[in-house]
Structure formats: C-alpha cells, structure tokens
Amino acid sequence: MQRNWRAAVSDLLSGGAPGAPARLATSALLVAAIVGAPAAVALATLPDRAAATRALLAAVQGFAVVLFTLEYALRLWSAPEQRPDAATPGEARRYYLASPLGIVDLLAVLPFWLGSVLPLGGDWVAVFGLLALLKLARYAPGLGLVAVVFRNERRALLAALLVLLVALVLASGVMFALEHAAQPQAFASIPHSLWWGIVTMASVGYGDVTPVTPVGRSVAGVVMLLGIAMFAVPAGILATGFAAELRRRDFIVTWQAVARVPLFAQLDASRIAGIARLLKPQVVPANSVIVRQGERADAMFFLMSGSVEVEVAPRPVRLRPGQFFGEIALLKDIERTATVIAVEECRLLVLDVLDFRRLMADYPDLRASVVRVAESRLGQTAGAGAPPGP
C-alpha cells in the first residue's frame, strides 16, 4: 500500500504521463510558486510599500515556502521510485539529497526556516529566496542544457579561465610598474591595479582608474584588444558546446525514431547509428505536397508521425507511421510517377539520393527489403492499371 502511494506521488511530481491532468495541475502550481516567490521577494525590497501590499507579499512568500517544503519532503520520500536500481530506499534518497536539483530544493526553503529561529540578515534571506528560480530547470529544458554544456566543457573553460587569469595578473603588474610613480594612490600596489585590469580586459571601462602616462596608455590599448580576444575564447567554447550537445540530442532522437521503423527493426545498434547519421528530420504541414508526379527523384522518405496519401488510381493509398515512400523512383532512376500529399502535419526522416545509393551499397540485405517492398507496390499498382508509386 505504501509503495502504491509512493509511486502515485512520484508520478504526480515527475514520473507520470506529461499530459495527465493531475500532473499538469501540480506542475502549473509549482511553476507559479517558483515564479511568484522570487517576484514577491524582489517587490518586498521596494521602499514605501502600503501595509496591504506588505501583507500580500508576505503571504505569497509564506505559501511558496510551505509548498516548496512539502514538495521537498514528498520528493525525498518518493525518491526510491525514481531510482529503482538503488540497492536500498536510503541510497535512493541520498542520491536525491546530493543531486543538483535536490540541493536547489533544499536551499529554496532552508534559509527561511533558519531565519525564523536564528538572527540571519533579512537581506541575505531574500537573496536565498531568489534561488527558487533554479527550480525551473525541471520545467525548462534550456536551463538543464546550460548545466550539461558547462559540465561537458569544464576542462576547456577552466583552461581558458586560467589563461585569462594569468594575462590579468601580468597586465596589472605591468601597469603598476608604469603608473605607480605618476598615480601612487590609484596604482598603490599590484592588487590595487587588478581592479583596473578587470574592468579594462572586460571592456567595461568605468573610467575611475585610468593610465595617464603615454606608455601606460599604449599598454592599456593593447590590454583592451587582448581582453576582447580572451573573452571571446570562452564564448566560442560555449557556442561549440551548445552546438555539439544539440547535435547529440538530435542524433539520439533520430536514432530512436530509426529504431522504430520496421524496415530497420532487425538491425543492430551500430548499423542503426550509421543510418541515423544519414537521415535528416523534416516537418511537413498538413495538405502540403511532399513529392510531385514528374519531378526528379532526389530523396526517400520515412514517415514517423502523421499520414500521407499517394495519389494512384483507382483510389489513393494512405501510408501510416513506420512506412516509407519515394524508393521506387530512386531504385529505377526515373522521375516521380505519383504525387504524395500530407493528410495532416507529418514528421519525416529524409534520405537524399546519394546517401540512399550509399546505404543500398553498404547494406545488401536492406536493399533486398526495399526492393521487395517496391516490387510489391509495383505489382499492386500494375494490377490496378495505374502507374507505380513514387
């Protein structure tokens, strides 16, 4: 009985069907609290607020803290359902406690409860209240993607940061030597010069500390250009990391889609991976023409979702997810002999003609299956007195 309740709570918080009404309502309530609590914390710092406004903001914060506390307790209790591979329930709960989101869940409520019994500064309690925004990572995949990219690129980012730190210290030391005599207060020491180095290399340019000697200004110009280049390195690393992670996720989605196609069902994982690299996803709106009779054949299509109609006599043929079309014209090296129209919005995987020929040459058994389907379709359409399919 306890496990049934625990599984129900786990489904309600994170494991149930995405479209389930109970889970949608729970997620909507939590997201509203995640957004509302930091907003209330921020508005509470405004001066000259009316008593009614202060009471309302305090009520919002209090409700959010109670809700987040209940959520934390339930997630901790139901953690074994999220980690069925754990040896014991205690191990699963320890995993949740040490996970990044588990730590965020704790930090979102702990300062408020500690502040009620300990003399913590109200301003710092408010700052910790803003951490509730990190809980959005569960509901906004983009935040999780940022964390993954930083983890994947941590070595490159650390190397770039180390080079930047070395350049900052050297530039500050040189500027101290050049400007100390002219400005003993502004450039009193190398640590004092670090402030100038930071704002200059970051291209902030507050102007509160500037060189006055000709040589110092010349060196400052070089440092500015160097700073632009140095800050561009981490940006490039992150951009490359985002692109690589998105490609990896797209590949996984394509791999899973290819694995569900009956034509490839008997292939092993490595061969499916090779095919997945050749396929390009495409979304086609409803009532769109995908291929048109008489056009040059340049691709084969795998239907992943939706449905299409092949316009052949005596009546159109409807294809469902898992089926493919466009192979006959490629095999025969002829123009399209039928028009294919999307009945509803369709998700396709497209294999262009060069990759099709390479795939057929590399996998003879796969070619035999495609030829067998094509000949079956040719036989059906020929028996009906119609031209072959596309």
Instruction: Please check the confidence at residue 2 and state whether its pLDDT lies above 70.
Output: no
What b-and-e string marks burial along 272-293, b requiring 16 or more CB atoms within 10 Å of the CB?
A: bbebbebbeeeebeeeeebbee
Peptide bond preceding 285: is omega within 30 degrees of 0, i.e. cis?
A: no
Query: Best-predicted range by mean pLDDT among 160-164, 229-233, 326-330?
Result: 160-164
pLDDT in tens, 84-114: 777 788 888 888 888 888 888 888 888 788 7
CA 319 from centroid of its chain's CA atoms = 32
Report all structural domains of the chain as residue ranges with CATH numbers, in order of start: 2-139 (1.20.120.350), 154-247 (1.10.287.70), 269-383 (2.60.120.10)
Instruction: Please check the confidence at residue 40 and state whether its pLDDT lies above 50.
Output: yes
Instruction: Please check the confidence at residue 7 and state whether its pLDDT lies above 70.
Output: yes
pLDDT in tens, 207-257: 788 899 999 999 999 998 888 888 888 889 999 998 888 888 777 777 877
Task: Report how far residue 254's alpha carbon sits from residue 279's, in angstroms, rounded to the nearest whole number.
Answer: 8
Q: Give the per-residue pLDDT at 18.
A: 53
Task: Report how far residue 367's alpha carbon sits from residue 134's, in angstroms, rounded to the nearest whole number.
Answer: 50
Q: Give the per-residue pLDDT at 218.
A: 92
pTM summary value: 0.62
Task: Report how far residue 377's alpha carbon sits from residue 374's, in angstroms, rounded to the nearest whole number.
Answer: 5
**What percent of the chain has a predicted confidence (pLDDT) above 90?**
15
Q: Give the per-residue pLDDT at 248.
A: 83
Neighbours of 365 (CB within 10 A): 8
